[in-house]
Amino acid sequence: MAPWVIAITGASGAIYAFKTIRALLAAGEKVCLIISEPGARVLREELGWSLKGGVEEFALEIKEKLGCPEEDDSLLCFDCNDIGCCLASGSFLTKGMLIVPCSMATLAGIAAGTSRNLIERAADVTIKERRPLVLVPRETPLNSIHLKNMLALAEIGVHIVPPMPAFYFGPRSIDDLVDYFVSRVLNLVGVKIDPSI
């Protein structure tokens, strides 16, 4: 089964990333995870994760946080600087890519096609192979540069999905708001989940 590529970058909203990965795994999907250095910092600051060492240590800690056995291959972690790995090639089949949260620097790099790291390169591959790409930008207020970059990507079919809370369903907690948003993101790419996951 082809995996989903999930990237975590240095924007606030690490809880969205955690719950997106958890929901995908609970739905029986496979995940290839890339975390930028600023993304790791956000995970440390917002969720209290240590994420010390290399990719192997990251993978073990993340699997522990998600309750996955060490030997479980449904979640694989990749080095953000390894632009020669399988995720950098269009011949490696994936279902698509979600960047949750997506920093404005990453969004700008994707819009410009710079491929400075594995996240930008994997996004470029996703676009050229016409697979679904979802960006969850977390910045406010938005300036005209942010908006132009988002428009450029939206015009080629990239889904731009800012994590804007909805209140019409009667949320009672922050978890309710996050879970509902994650369900909307995943439903957008055809992964149907229970919003209460």
Residues annotated within the binding site for FMN are 10-12, 36, 103-106, 138
Q: Which residues of 163-189 are buried (b: 16+ CB within 10 A; e: fewer)?
A: beeeeeeeeeeeebbbbbbbbebbeeb
Structure token digits, residue 61: 């800690």
Q: Which residues are annotated as a binding site?
A: 10-12, 36, 103-106, 138, 168, 184
**Do 27 and 55 touch, CB atoms closer than 8 A?**
no
Q: Which residues are annotated as a binding site for dimethylallyl phosphate?
A: 168, 184
Q: What is the phi/psi pair of residue 97, to 5°?
A: -140, 140
